[in-house]
Amino acid sequence: MHMKPGMKSILLVALVAGIAAASPITVAFGSLGPPFFYDITQNAGHQVSGVTFQYAPGGDPADPPPICGFDAGLGGTEWNLACVGAQVDPSGLNGTTDGMYTLTFPTAAYQFQFFFGITSTVPHADADFSVQASFITGGPLPDILLVPTAGQSLVCDGAGTCSGTLAYSGHPFTRVDLIFTPYALPDPDTGILTYGQTLLTANDMSFTAVPEPGTLLLLVFGLAGLGARRLWKRIS
């Protein structure tokens, strides 16, 4: 039994359309134009490749730490040891770790990953970091992923710098909240922690959108047709 040429074309188009719809979408930080450096701390956030980035600083609400300044002429954030802030720029997502980063996606997704580095501005052999990601879809948290501070997920050099890759695949989500454990030294007189001493950079970020119902049917139809074609070849 042989498949008609027209049927072959339909199955091929359906299969390609389904696979294309499930391909990862890269967050193109390099596509950012002037002024290139966008503060996501003091406004409603900034959108890159459809993803909205926001940063909510931590600290004592009654005595909040100052916000880091941003100056594109200086190549980004004017860091100091007592400020907090974040930005998106052509190199990726950059900021301090004290607080929470919120990423809102243009459509429901089920996969998400990025590379990140955390550096203490006061290098210390005992510096230890972690990152927690909460995946949210318009209601209760369906899943929470914790990347441990040891093992393959996070590599530290013992001098205040760690790097790793956060990769998730699971329940559909429309928002991700990221909390990076900060590293801060207590004031010798008051014991109060100094904020903004740990810096974050994240890039090579991508996500995979949940296929539309119609596209999902195309994918299933294409895969089923491909399997049927192989079966027909065997019995023909």
Confidence band (pLDDT; 50, 70, 90) for 224? low
pLDDT of residue 13: 45
Q: Tens digits of per-residue pLDDT, 130-177?
A: 788 889 887 666 677 766 554 446 777 766 778 888 889 988 999 999
pLDDT of residue 218: 45
Question: What separation in angstroms does the CA of 60 have from each of 66, 195, 217?
Answer: 11, 10, 51
pTM: 0.75
**Token pair belonging to 43:** 């406004």
134-148, 176-190, 220-234: segment of lowest average pLDDT? 220-234
| Selected residue with higher pLDDT from 64 and 1 | 64
Domains of the chain: which residue ranges? 1-22+211-236, 27-206
Pick the CATH number of 27-206 from 3.90.1690, 2.60.120, 3.30.110, 1.10.287: 2.60.120
34-38, 53-57, 222-226: segment of lowest average pLDDT? 222-226
